[in-house]
Amino acid sequence: MLRALSVLGARPRCRAPCQLPALLLLPARGRKTRHDPPAKSKVGRVATPPAVDPAEFFVLTERYRQYRQTVRALRLEFVSEVRRKQHEARAGVLAERKALEEAAEHRELMAWNRAENQRLQELRIARLRQEAREQEQRRAEEKARQAREAQAWAQLKEQEVLQLQEEAKTFITRENLEARVQEALDSPKSYNWAITREGLVVRPKHKGS
């Protein structure tokens, strides 16, 4: 018997593939399973149920009937209470009042939202107008500045042209070529001088060229 019991611990658990009941069937030698055919000695055997005591039977049925009646009444009572509560929550007086209040609040909030949007829209419009004005101003300033610069540039160029015209009077042409050549030969120039930081010109004291 112990050896039979020890097999319990050694067996690996495999619940999913095979369908064992919660309690493991103790395999004992010689016992029949339901799939085995009955024995020859049991041919013609009629199973007789045990005899019924009428008084006990009556008492039993009465008690069952009362029990079930009570339980059913309680159950119906509870179920009806729950359904009533649900109905009141869905369509009762309080619920309607609350729905009305919520609708009113919603309307109020929507109105506030619209007002807020309106206000922000006005602010936005004002801001955009301001920005447009500023941009216009900046553009105008930029144009003015460019115009001033162009004018200054034109004036500078004019000055340069006038100066060049003035200098052109001293240029050498074929007419005054001879005179200029003689004049140049008469007056030798020397660039061999230096200047101090204070602005004094320093020339070399020539001993010879």
CB 197 within 8 A of CB 188: no
Stretch that binds other proteins, among 32-40, 91-99, 120-128, 163-171 (CB under 8 A): 163-171
Three-class secondary structure of residue 177 per DSSP: helix
3-state secondary structure of 201: strand
Considering the complex, what minimum distance in angstroms separates the CB of residue 168 from other proteins? Answer: 8
Residue 164 beta carbon to other proteins: minimum distance, rounded to whole angstroms: 10
- Contact call for residue 178 and other proteins (CB under 8 A): yes
Instruction: Pick one of 11, 42, 174, 197: the residue that binds other proteins (CB under 8 A).
Output: 174
Number of residues located near other proteins, criterion CB under 8 A: 19
Using CA atoms, how far apart are residues 114 and 121, in angstroms rounded to an integer? 10
Out of 6, 33, 187, 196, point to the residue binding other proteins (CB under 8 A).
187
Q: Pick from 19, 41, 165, 170 the residue near other proteins by CB under 8 A.
A: 170
| Helix/strand/coil for 69 | helix
Binding flag, residue 165, other proteins (CB under 8 A)? no
Is 19 one of the binding residues for other proteins (CB under 8 A)?
no
Stretch that binds other proteins, among 41-49, 80-88, 145-153, 186-194 (CB under 8 A): 186-194
Among the listed residues 34, 16, 17, the one whose alpha carbon sits nearest the alpha carbon of residue 25: 34
Residue closer to other proteins, measured from CB, 23 or 168:
168
Are 193 and 201 contacting, i.e. CB atoms less than 8 angstroms apart?
yes
Of 42 and 207, which CB lies nearer to other proteins in the complex structure?
207
Closest CA to 25 of 42, 7, 39, 40: 7
Which residue type sits at 83?
A: R
Q: How far apart are CA 161 and CA 168, in angstroms?
A: 10
**Judged by CB under 8 A, does residue 172 bind other proteins?**
yes
Tokens of 97: 């009042």
Interface with other proteins (CB under 8 A): 167, 170-174, 177-178, 180-182, 184-185, 187-191, 209
